[in-house]
Amino acid sequence: MSGTSTDDVPTHDLAPERARRDSGVPAVLTFLIADVRGYTRFAQEHGDEEAGRLAADFATLVRETVVAGGGELIELRGDEALCFFGSARQAVTTAVDLQMAFRRESDGGTTFPLPIGAGLDAGEAVPIEGGYRGGALNTAARLCSIARPGETLATDTVVSLARRLEGIRYVPRRSVRLKGLDKPIRVIEVAPEAGLPPLPADPSTRRPKVTRRRLTVAALLVAALAGALAFALVRSNRSDALSRVEPNSIAAIDGDTADVSAQVKLESAPTAIATGGGSVWVANELAGTVSRLNPTSNLVHTTSVDGHLGGIAYGARSVWVTKSDARALVQINPRTSEVVQNIPVGNAPGAVAVGPDAVWVANTVDGTVSRVGLAGGSVTDTIAVGPNPAGLAVARDGVWVAIQSTGSAVRIDPRARAVVKTVYVGNGPTGIAVGGGNVWVANTRDGTVSRIDPTTNRMTATLRVGRNPSALAATPQGVWVANGGEDTIKRVDSRSAEVDRTVTLGSRPSGIALSGGTVYAAAVVPLEGHRGGVLKVTSEPSECRCADPIFALGPNVTDFGVASLVYDGLVAYRRVGGSAGAELVPDLAGSLPTSTDDGRTYSVQLRDGIRFSYGTPVRAADFRASVERDLAVNPFSAFQGVVGAAHCSAKACDLSRGIEVDDAKRTIIIHLSRADPDFIYKLALPEAAMLPARKAPWTKHAHSIPRHWSVPRRIFSPRP
C-alpha cells in the first residue's frame, strides 16, 4: 500500500451507485482507467501464452487493489481496466496503491514485468448495459493514453473533490488538449510523497550472463543464421520464388523489389484490408469476421463481427469496420481484438476512413457520408455526396469521396461539413487515396487511374493501368493499384504518372494497404471461370404478364423477376448478393448517364456491337420508341418528367424534343422538364427496357417482341 492507510479515507458504500446503475439513473462518479505499457511488444517477443498469463496477473492485481480501495472493476479489455468509485478520495488513493502494487515484489520474489499508466476524471455518468457512458469516462481514457509509464494523471475536478490526502502529493502539469474537447484541460500528476519504487526493467533489454559456452553457441547460431540468410537470398532471387499467391490469402510485397516475400492463408475470402497498430487487419465480408495478422510471426487471430462486412480502417487506437446489412460502424479494440461498440450509420455502409477527430463512412444506398465523432461515438453529421459513394480518403484539405455513379470525386470540408468541390474523373471510380501531394482515383470501368491536384482541384493526368482497378494505396513516391481484372498490382510514379513496377499475383487482389516499405494485398479467387449456358427458372403457377416489361411492376412478383432476366435497359443493378446489389452499373450503355443542366439533362452512349436476340442491331432510336410506347400505354409511367410526355396519349406520342437520338454515334440525350435526382434509377426499371421500334398503331398491339426470346409469343394488348 502507499503511505496513506485506507483508515484515513472515509469509507463510501457503492450500493447506492449500483442501485442507480440498475435503475438507469445518472450518477456522479470518479473513473479510473489503467493499462499496461509495452504489452503488444511483450506478446510479440514472448508469445501469446506468456502474454495471456501477464494479462491474467494484471486483472488479478487490479481487481484486488480496486475492491480493497472501495471501488468496482466494471470492465477488462485484455491489458486495460475500467473502474469506478463513488468517492474521488478513494479513487485517488487506489490509483497510488495500484502503482505501488505493480512495482512490489510478490511472495515469489518477482515483480510485474511491465509498468502501467492511469487516468482519473469525475463527473456525471449515464448507466448503460454493462457499464457507463459519459464525458468523464472519455477524459479518463484520454489521460490514461497520454500518461507515461508508471504515471497517474488526474483532472483538477478529481483533485478538487479529493482535496488534500496525507501521504499523497499533487504535481501540476501544463494544460493539454484532448481529442473531443474544445478547450485545454489542466492536468495534475498524482504520486506518493515518499516516491515510487523504480520502474521494472524492460524485458526486451534484459540479457543473460555471458559465458564462454554461450559465446560459442552464439557463434554457431550466427553462422547457421548466415547460411540460412544466404539460402533465403538465393531463393528470393529465383524466378519461381513465390510466383503465385493462393486465393484467400494475404500477400506481403517488397515495395522496392516488387517481389512477393510471404503469404498467409486465411479461412475465408478477404475483401478489404488495412494496417495499423503493428498489425494487418482484414475484413472477410461473407464470413462476417475480421482477421488480425501479426507480420512478424504470421499468426492470425479472427474476431467474429456477425454480419456482411464492407470497408475497414485503422485509426484513433481502434479498428473500424462497416456492416452493410446492419447499417452499423463497428469499433474494435486492437489490443484485445474485441468489439467495443456498434454505431448506427446509413444504409449499406461501405468505405470507411479515419481523420483527426472523426470517422467517415460512405453509405452506398443513401448516397451520403456519415461523420462519426471520436469523442461522442455517434453520428454528428450526414452529408449528401451523390449516388454510390465507393471510396474515402482523408487529406489535409478535406475528405475526398469517389462517387461511382457520377464518375466524379468530391471534396468535403470537415469544418463546413458539406461538399465544396466536384472533380469529374473517369468511368466508375471506386478506390481513392492521398499521397505525394496528389489525390489518386481508380476508375474501374475505364481501367485508368486519375491524378488530381488538390490545390487547383483539377485532374492533371489519366493513366491506363489495367483491367478493373479498384483499390489504391499511396505513398509520397507513388500509388499502388490493385487490378482485379488481370490479377496484378502496379505502382504509378507520382511525378511521371507512369507505371514503374508490376507484380503478378495469380489471384485477384481485393484490397491493398501499406506499412513501411511493405505492400499488403488481400487475394481472392480470380474472375476467370465458365460463362454462358442456359438458365431455367421454375415458379408457382401464376397469371404471368412478364412478356411485356411495362407490366412487370404489377402485383405479381413473378413478373418483375422474369422481366429482369429477359430484358435489358441502359443501366441495371449489379447482379450480386448483399449491399453491392444496390449499385447501378451500365448495361446496354457504355457508361452510366451523365447529368448536366442542373439535373435536367442526361446524356449516354450505347455500347458498340450490341444486337437484339434475332440479330437486329440495337439503335439509339429504339430507346426513344420504347419510352414513347411506355408513356402511351402506361398511365403510371416513370417517364412523366420527360419533355413532351404530357402530350402523349394512346393514339400518339412524340418525344423528339425530349429524347434526342443519333443512331450513327449511338448517343441518347434526355431532357427533363424539371430536375429529378431519381431519374437515373428509373432507367433501371423493367419499363425502361429497350425494345425494337415498330410503326404499328398504338391501339392495335404493343411492339412485337423477338420470337427467339424466351418469353411467350402472345403480346398483351395495351391498357385502354
- What is the C-alpha separation between 51 and 35, in angstroms, rounded? 14
Average pLDDT over all residues of the chain: 81
CATH number of the 549-688 domain? 3.40.190.10
Q: Tell me, what's the pLDDT at 554?
A: 57
Nearest 5°: the CA angle 411, 416, 419 is 30
Confidence of residue 130 (pLDDT cuts 50, 70, 90): low
Among the listed ranges 280-289, 336-345, 531-540, 666-675, which one has the minimum average pLDDT value?
531-540
Q: Tell me, what's the pLDDT at 537?
A: 63
| Mean of pLDDT values over 410-414 | 95
If 0-12 CB within 10 Å is exposed, 13-18 middle and 19+ buried, where does residue 67 land? middle
pLDDT over 50 at 426, yes or no: yes
Among the listed ranges 12-21, 157-166, 293-302, 625-634, which one has the minimum average pLDDT value?
12-21
- State how far Cα 13 lies from the chain centre: 45
pLDDT over 60 at 467, yes or no: yes
Q: Tell me, what's the pLDDT at 134?
A: 82
Q: Tell me, what's the pLDDT at 696?
A: 37
Q: What share of the chain is helix, strand, coil (3-state, %, to 5)?
A: 20, 35, 45
Q: Which residue has the cell 478547450?
A: 183
Residues in the chain: 720
Q: Tell me, what's the pLDDT at 20?
A: 55
Q: Tell me, what's the pLDDT at 599?
A: 83
Q: Tell me, what's the pLDDT at 651?
A: 83
Using alpha carbons, select from 169, 174, 178 the residue that is nearest to residue 140: 178
Among the listed ranges 216-220, 326-330, 444-448, which one has the minimum average pLDDT value?
216-220
If 0-12 CB within 10 Å is exposed, 13-18 middle and 19+ buried, where does residue 261 land? middle
pLDDT over 80 at 1, yes or no: no
pLDDT over 70 at 709, yes or no: no
Confidence of residue 517 (pLDDT cuts 50, 70, 90): confident
629: left (phi over 0), alpha (psi -120 to 50) or beta: alpha
pLDDT over 50 at 711, yes or no: no
Confidence of residue 438 (pLDDT cuts 50, 70, 90): very high
- What is the C-alpha separation between 232 and 321, in angstroms, rounded? 37
Q: Where are the domains of the chain?
A: 6-203, 549-688
Confidence of residue 25 (pLDDT cuts 50, 70, 90): low
CATH class of 6-203: alpha beta
Among the listed ranges 33-37, 230-234, 315-319, which one has the minimum average pLDDT value?
230-234
Q: Write out pLDDT tens, residues 601-649.
A: 999 999 888 888 777 889 999 999 999 988 988 888 889 999 999 999 8
Q: Tell me, what's the pLDDT at 42?
A: 82
Q: Tell me, what's the pLDDT at 103?
A: 85
Confidence of residue 546 (pLDDT cuts 50, 70, 90): low
- Give CA torsion, residues 639, 640, 642, 645, to 10 deg: 120
Among the listed ranges 6-20, 378-392, 702-716, which one has the minimum average pLDDT value?
702-716
Confidence of residue 253 (pLDDT cuts 50, 70, 90): very high
Residue burial 136-159, b: 16+ Cβ < 10 Å; e: rest: bbbbbbbbbbebeebbbbbbebbb
Residue 246 backbone dihedrals phi, psi, to 5 degrees:
-70, 150
